[in-house]
Amino acid sequence: MKYVTLLIVPENLRKPIFSHYHNGPSAGHMGEYKTLYRMRMRFFWPGLRNDVKKWVKGCANCVAYNVWRNRKSETHFSWPITVPFWIMHVDLWSPGDVVVDEKGNKGYLLNSMCDITQFAIATPTFNITSAHLATQFMEHVVLIFGMCTVIVLDDGSPFKGVFKEVCDILRIKYWVLSNRITKD
């Protein structure tokens, strides 16, 4: 049997929690429905929905920009709104043949970026095998910022196959972001 554990929030902490989930760095004034969704995943208090509705209507930024009037006006995202470092975008980048080690191996940056905060972690490497990249991702991302559940891969990346192997090694789900190149 599975249970969902929600924190019951005392009155003096309700408004600060709302502020974090509505206008904090990872929130971006997402409107009533998405703010309520994110808060309901973690917290409970009597009248939560009414409080969120009232506070969003009183948000100076939302009122000034005349946004989030109803559910249909909200942008639809292709994946769920989560917490920081839950969904990570990963790819390799190289400045060409500019950076080489003593053995002549080409240098790369393993770039990992949080989907919500856009915080990027760049890890230099000369070894681009899936086992080595899995170790680098664990050491420089997961063990520092916490476990992610999805890694997003670029469909046009020449390293897509290597990163699929990295995800298999780490047992992390991956999504392939479609290549949106348009032909004129």
Predicted confidence (pLDDT) per residue in 99-149, tens digit: 788 888 888 999 999 888 888 999 999 999 999 999 999 999 999 888 888
68: pLDDT confidence band, cut at 50, 70 and 90? Answer: very low
φ, ψ for residue 182 (rounded to 5)? -105, 145
**Region 31-56 average pLDDT:** 89
- Please tell me the pTM assigned to this model: 0.55
151's tokens = 């890694």
Exposure of 150 in the CB half-sphere (CA atoms within 13 A): 15
Domains of the chain as residue ranges with CATH: 7-73 (1.10.340.70), 87-177 (3.30.420.10)
**Region 50-57 average pLDDT:** 92
Looking at this protein, which amino acid is placed at residue 114? C
pLDDT(77) > 60:
no
pLDDT(180) > 60:
no
Check: CB of residue 70 under 8 Å from CB of residue 31.
no
pLDDT over 90 for what percent of the chain? Answer: 39
pLDDT at 184: 44
